[in-house]
Amino acid sequence: ETGVTQTPRHLVMGMTNKKSLKCEQHLGHNAMYWYKQSAKKPLELMFVYNFKEQTENNSVPSRFSPECPNSSHLFLHLHTLQPEDSALYLCASRQAGTEGSNTIYFGEGSWLTVV
Amino acid sequence: QKEVEQDPGPLSVPEGAIVSLNCTYSNSAFQYFMWYRQYSRKGPELLMYTYSSGNKEDGRFTAQVDKSSKYISLFIRDSQPSDSATYLCAMSAPGSARQLTFGSGTQLTVLP
C-alpha cells in the first residue's frame, strides 16, 4: 500500500473510446502528477497540479485531458487515443515545502492498451 | 546528450553478490538524488533519498553521490532474489522540486 491508489489497474480501449483513469492519494499531499512510462524509456512527466491548479503541461496531446477536483483526487480523461499511447500511466503525489519534499510517491499504475 | 544517463542492463548476479548501480548526469544544479525500485508491473517505490554529496546507508543499501564527477551510485550488499527489479535514479535541482529527472532504469536479476 503506497498511499496513492490508481484505478483501473488494467484498461484496454479502442481508438474511438472515451475512458478515464482515476487517482486518489491518502497522504495529505498538495501536489499530484501524471507520468507516462513506456518500455526502455525514462518516465515522462505529463501534468502537474499544485493545490488543485495545473502548473505544468509538458506538451501533451489534447487527447489526454487531466482533471483535479481537489488535492486528493486526479483524473486523466482519454479519448481517440492511438496505439502508441499504450503504456503504464503513473500517478504520483508530493508534499511541497517539507523536508524531503523533492521526493514523490507513486501509485501502482494503470496499464493502458489501445487497440 | 541525455540529462541523466543510466545503463539499462540487464544485469544478472548470483545471490549474495554486491551490486553496483550507477547514473551520470550533466546538470550541475542537481542537488537532490533519489533511487526508486520498481518491481514488474508495479509502480516505482522510493528506496533512498540523498541531499548533495556523500553517502547514505539503509540496511543493505548504500547511496553515494559524487557531485564533482556528476556520478551517483547505489550499492546492494548480500543481494537477494527479492531485489530483482528495475532501479531508477532520479534527481532535481533547488527550486524545481516539482519536476524530477529520471534515468531510464537498470533491470537487475539476482539468481538464487
Q: Check residue A98 and give its pLDDT.
A: 61
- Residues B10-52: pLDDT tens digits? 999 999 999 999 999 999 989 889 999 999 888 999 999 988 8
The reply to whether A83 touches chain B by the CB within 8 Å rule is: no
Closest chain B CA to residue A57:
B99
- Residues B51-74: pLDDT tens digits? 888 889 999 999 999 999 999 999
Contact A94 B104 (CB under 8 A): no
The reply to whether A96 touches chain B by the CB within 8 Å rule is: yes
Interacting residues of A39 by C-beta distance below 8 A, sequence separation 6+: none
Instruction: Give mean pLDDT in consecutive 10-residue pieces for chain A, a chain of 115 residues.
Output: 90 92 94 90 88 76 93 94 95 77 86 94
The grid coordinates of residue B60 equal 543493505
| Nearest chain A CA: its distance from B63 CA (Å) | 15
Q: Check residue A35 and give its pLDDT.
A: 94
The amino acid present at B34, given as its one-letter code, is M
Distance CA A15, CA A85 (A): 10
Residue B78 DSSP label: S
| Nearest chain B CA: its distance from A83 CA (Å) | 19
Q: Check residue A1 and give its pLDDT.
A: 63
Chain B residues touching residue A39 (CB < 8 angstroms): none
The reply to whether B88 touches chain A by the CB within 8 Å rule is: yes
* pLDDT above 60 (res B111): yes
> What Å distances lie between residue A90 and A8, A43, B53, CA to CA?
11, 9, 29
> What Å distances lie between residue B54 and B26, B94, B109, CA to CA?
18, 18, 27
Distance CA B3, CA B28 (A): 10
Q: Out of A56, A103, A106, name the one closest to residue B43 (CB).
A: A106
Q: Check residue B94 and give its pLDDT.
A: 77
Among A68, A104, A105, A112, the residue to mutate for chain B (most B Cβ within 10 A): A104
- Residues B84-96: pLDDT tens digits? 999 999 998 876 5
Residue A6's Cα: distance from chain center in Å? 9
Q: How many degrees, rounded to 5, is the angle at CA B104 between CA B17 and CA A82?
A: 135
Which of A56, A78, A55 lies closest to A65 in space, CA to CA?
A78
Q: Out of A6, A56, A103, name the one closest to residue B49 (CB).
A: A103
Q: Check residue A97 and give its pLDDT.
A: 66
Q: Check residue B72 and give its pLDDT.
A: 96
Q: Check residue A101 and give its pLDDT.
A: 62
Which residue(s) pair with B15 in the sheet?
none
Distance CA A95, CA A101 (A): 6
What does residue A83 show for φ and ψ, rounded to 5 degrees?
-55, -30
Question: Strands A53-57 and A73-79, how do they pair?
Answer: unpaired
